[in-house]
Amino acid sequence: MNSIGIKTSQIMSHVALQFGGYEGIPCQVRDVYNRVVGAMKEEKMETDSEGALGFLDCLSAQVPNFIVCHQADEENRLANVFWVDETSRNYYMDFGDVIAFDMTYMNNTNNKPLCILMGVNHHFSTCIFGFALLVDETVTTYSWMLRVLLRCHNNKKPLVVLIDRDNAIQEAIRENILESTYRLCAWNLATNASRAGMI
């Protein structure tokens, strides 16, 4: 009823009539309001993810060498997305010997980790090698991201990977790019030390 524009208060009045008054309703009025709001959020998330995938798929169809890969969960909802353009692919082939993972933790409206894969070129300028919007920070998710990264970049494996102290990403690196050396990022070390009052 709510999806066709009927207000929640009117829905409650209708339900109350069927049960002989508000006291006869088998649930609390606030439960109905919470359910309606939850359904609207879920519908908005599905619409957002469909719109984002549609946009990225359109780019991959129209822009040469633009690649988008995505993964759905058990309930067929969008879980992980990885995308990369031609410039990033060229950067990776030239400067992808050392890559860093910049994890923007839960800074977006859906509380999903955004991973920016980057490096430095011969002028010490930042180059982006790809982006991933992930469902969580587990070994399985990071392993998927690394496999897609390698597939998009002709299976070229980095020599060194700079990471934060996350154990899941370390395990995923050991499983998928065993030949690569991984090190903790100096910026993360300095930031964590200053937070702890060590600097």
Pair 15, 71 in one domain: no
Pair 131, 92 in one domain: yes
Pair 84, 154 in one domain: yes
Digit-coded pLDDT (tens) for 100-151: 888 765 555 556 788 889 999 999 899 999 999 888 889 999 999 999 999 9
Residue 146 near residue 132 (C-beta atoms within 8 A): no
Q: Which residue has the tokens 């899941």?
A: 168
Final residue before a domain boundary, out of 37, 62, 87: 62
Digit-coded pLDDT (tens) for 180-195: 887 766 555 455 556 5
| Rounded Cα–Cα distance for residues 66 and 176 (Å) | 23
Pair 83, 176 in one domain: yes
Pair 125, 102 in one domain: yes
- The alpha carbon of 7 is separated from its chain's Cα centroid by a whole number of angstroms, namely 34
The CATH code of the domain that includes 180 is 3.30.420
Q: What is the DSSP string of 66-125?
A: -EEEEEE-TTS-EEEEEEE-HHHHHHHHHHTTEEEEEEETT-STT---EEEEEEE-TTS-
pLDDT computed for residue 90 by the predictor = 94
- How many domains is the chain built from? 2
Final residue before a domain boundary, out of 62, 90, 105: 62
- Supply the range of the domain harboring residue 43: 1-62
